[in-house]
Amino acid sequence: MIVVLLGPPGAGKGTQSGTMVKKYGLCPISTGDIFRSNLNAGTALGLEARSYMSEGLLVPDELVVRLVIDRLSQPDAQNGVLLDGFPRTVFQAEELAGFLAAHGKSVTCCLLLDIPEKELMVRLTGRRVCRGCSSVWHLTFSPPPTDSVCPYCGGEIHQRDDDGEAAASNRLRVYQAQTYPVIAWYEERGLLKKIPASGSPQEVEKTINKALE
Ligand code: ADP
Ligand code: ZN
């Protein structure tokens, strides 16, 4: 099973990806996480992606596609994959389809986490993340037990650079302009399943499970 998880920034892709990976034994591939860990480790890839990410812009297609194809070729990605944050442009969607076809594979379905745009800024700017284990909280909806220390790993709870007002609103604009067409792309191919994503994580999870049955 090769599942694409699509949706605007703040729709809850990271949260749902965590539960789906466990339930279905999928190999998670999150381009955002890959870039962030490269950034933390100070690699060349991290340095290259940095300026785009902090502004809320997309990293250039060629770079992302190379990275994902490389990741998809590794042994742990041969028995089911969950793609989170990729593809984000029609070019990326086409490159992915081409690569999979060349290996006798294809995307099983694309789940769209569907949520009214007006809810997204609140979700993004209130989000807090653990530097250690990437656990996610929200100041209003699911506040961490203490302000700055992660209860799971003791790591520092902080706000992602790109969750500030300016970068967050840029990310929403970029989604509208560049990722919106990807929805139609999967819809035209009969692969799109819309998942209402305004509810609680548990409600969204149930809908996803039904869609994957
Ligand atoms: P979001 O919470 O906005 O969905 P991600 O964690 O998926 O964010 O990604 C963070 C940043 O990493 C993006 O704003 C972008 O700069 C870069 N990025 C991640 N995936 C891609 C992609 N498929 N194409 C281009 N840039 C990407
Ligand atoms: Zn932690």
Residues within 5 A (CB) of ion ligand 2:
130, 132-133, 135, 150, 152-153, 155
> Which ligand places an atom closest to the C-alpha of 132?
2
Q: What DSSP line would sit under the chain, residue for residue? A: -EEEEE--TTSSHHHHHHHHHHHHTPEEEEHHHHHHHHHHHT-HHHHHHHHHHHHTPPPPHHHHHHHHHHHHTSGGGSS-EEEES---SHHHHHHHHHHHHHTT----EEEEEE--GGGHHHHHHHEEEETTT--EEETTTB--SSSSB-TTT-PBEE--GGGSHHHHHHHHHHIIIIIHHHHHHHHHTT-EEEEE-SS-HHHHHHHHHHHH-
> Number of structural domains, the chain?
1
pLDDT in tens, 4-13: 999 999 999 9
In a domain, 138, yes or no: no
CA 1 to chain centroid: 18
Phi, psi of 154 (to 5 degrees): 80, 0
| Strand partners of residue 192 | 110
Mean pLDDT of 173-181: 96
Separation of CA 160 and ligand 2 centre (Å): 14
Please give the residue range of the domain that contains residue 205. 2-26+80-116+164-212
What is the atom index within ligand 1 of the atom nearest the CA of 35? Answer: 12
- Ligand nearest the Cα of residue 133 is 2
Residue 180 lies in a domain: yes
Residue 186 domain-assigned (yes or no): yes
Cβ–Cβ under 8 Å, residues 145 and 35: no
pLDDT at 105: 97
Is pLDDT of 117 > 90? no
Q: Report d(CA 139, CA 155) in Å as an integer.
A: 17
Q: Is the pLDDT of residue 147 over 90?
A: no
**Is residue 69 included in any domain, yes or no?**
no
User: Does residue 160 have an active-site annotation?
Assistant: yes
Question: Is 171 tagged catalytic?
Answer: yes
> How far is ligand 2, taken at its centre, from the CA of residue 84, in Å?
20
Q: What is the CATH number of the domain that holds 204?
A: 3.40.50.300
Instruction: Report whether residue 59 contacts ligand 1, using a CB cutoff of 6 Å.
Output: yes
Residue 176's CB is within 10 A of a number of other CB atoms, namely: 12
Structural domain contains residue 193? yes
Across 171-179, average pLDDT: 95
Q: Report residue 178 as tokens.
A: 């560049």
50 is catalytic: no
Identify the pLDDT of residue 34. Answer: 93
CA atoms within 13 A on the CB side of 50: 11
Residue 178 lies in a domain: yes
Of the pLDDT bands very low, low, confident and very high (cuts 50, 70, 90), residue 72 is very high
Selecting among 36, 123, 127, 128, the annotated active-site residue is: 127
Strand-pairing partners, residue 6, are: 112
Mean pLDDT of the chain: 95
Q: Is the CB of 38 under 6 A from ligand 1?
A: no
Please give the pLDDT value at position 10: 93
Given 36, 123, 128, 160, the catalytic residue: 160
